[in-house]
Amino acid sequence: MPLNELLTTFANNLLPILLISGAGFLLGKTVSVDSRTLGRVVFYVFSPILVFNLLARTELNSSDIFIAMGYAAIVSLAVGLLALLLGKLMRFERPVLIAVIITVAFGNTGNYGLPLVSFAFGKDALAFATLFYVTISILSNTFGVLIASLGHMDIKTALAGLFKVPTMYAVILAVLLNRFQLVLPTPLARTVDLAANGSIPMMIILLGLELSRFQWSHSYRALGLSVGLRLLAAPAIGLLLAIPFGLQGAARQGSVIEASMPAAVMNTVLAAEYGLDTSLVTAIVFAGTLLSPLTLTPLLVYLGR
């Protein structure tokens, strides 16, 4: 790949995200901002509206939706199992092993992945990226919680958490609206557009704010394994699985990029809530985000050809 092409791709697609998240990082370091409250606003308001807006206008049929969400689930399962196997071989203690599994299984498909796909490949690919994001959101809020709790929560309670994920309802409403070709009244349509347009900038700022809470970790082997699997193994698995799932064009672009994102900020919440190694998880998220342009830039060039 020509160096000029790599630099142009980085500058046009990744640099804007890094600059805005950098502003959020500086804000978090200099001003007392409650990132958890902002995160809840994004989770309960902006993210569901963005998902609804994208899916309500998509031309994807039910088969496309099923395939895209199935692909996301299988990719997450595959990299999670790989993390479990290698973590066992490296004899990690249970809290460290669980931290590695959740950071490898659940990438930052929202705050980072959605804007990146939007910049690089446009609305068609963004529709598939949105389905990937919704799937990972559902999995992290159910099975992610179950894994992190180390058996302290029964599966019924964990699965009940699915009904607390607002993006799920956004998907259902959008699919129904699209299926029956219904049109929102103008006031509602403009409300949705207004909120959806602000969703991605809000997500990027939130990413920077969360990274400002970074703590370093001395669990170097676990740190290296998680970041390596997320940035190197996950893209390879994503590309390979795109073949049997028949993903091509925009579907392949949006889905594979989402599969290749660094660890999700949401993992730090799970770590704090369930007594995992929080310094390790935040270090994984921070290091993976900083290093991600090195793997995402050539991947963007490859998928764009």
Could you tell me the CA-to-CA distances from 198 to 54, 82, 134, 237 in Å, in that order? 13, 37, 18, 32
Q: Look at the block and give the residue holding tokens 């939706």.
A: 65
d(CA 69, CA 134): 8
Give domain limits for the chain. 3-304
| pLDDT digits 0-9 by tens, 177-215 | 887 888 888 899 899 989 888 888 888 888 888 788 777
Closest to 112 (Cα-Cα) out of 63, 177, 42: 42
For the residues 31-51, what does the mean pLDDT come to?
81
| pLDDT digits 0-9 by tens, 280-301 | 888 898 899 999 999 999 999 9
Question: Which pLDDT value is given to residue 161?
Answer: 60
d(CA 217, CA 142): 27
For the residues 29-55, what does the mean pLDDT come to?
82
* Crossing angle (nearest 10°) for helices 249-259 and 114-148: 50
73 with 132: CB under 8 angstroms? no
Mean pLDDT of the chain: 86
d(CA 145, CA 102): 9
Question: Which pLDDT value is given to residue 159?
Answer: 62
DSSP structural state of residue 265: T
What is the rounded radius of gyration, in angstroms, for the C-alpha atoms of the chain?
A: 18
Question: Which pLDDT value is given to residue 151?
Answer: 43
Question: Which pLDDT value is given to residue 279?
Answer: 83
Burial 121-140 (b: 16+ CB within 10 A, else e): beebbbbbbbbbbbbbbbbb
**DSSP-derived secondary structure for 150-173:** TTSS-HHHHHHGGGG-HHHHHHHH
For the residues 95-115, what does the mean pLDDT come to?
91
Residues near 181 by Cβ (< 8 Å), separated by ≥ 6? none
Share of the chain above pLDDT 70, in %: 94
| pLDDT digits 0-9 by tens, 246-281 | 999 999 999 999 999 999 877 877 777 677 777 888
- Put residue 246 in one of left, alpha, beta given phi > 0 → left and psi -120 to 50 → alpha: left
- Specify the CATH number for 3-304; select among 3.10.310.70, 3.40.50.720, 1.20.1530.20, 1.10.10.10: 1.20.1530.20
Question: Which pLDDT value is given to residue 51?
Answer: 81
Categorize the per-residue pLDDT at 158 as very low, low, confident or very high, splitting at 50, 70 and 90: low
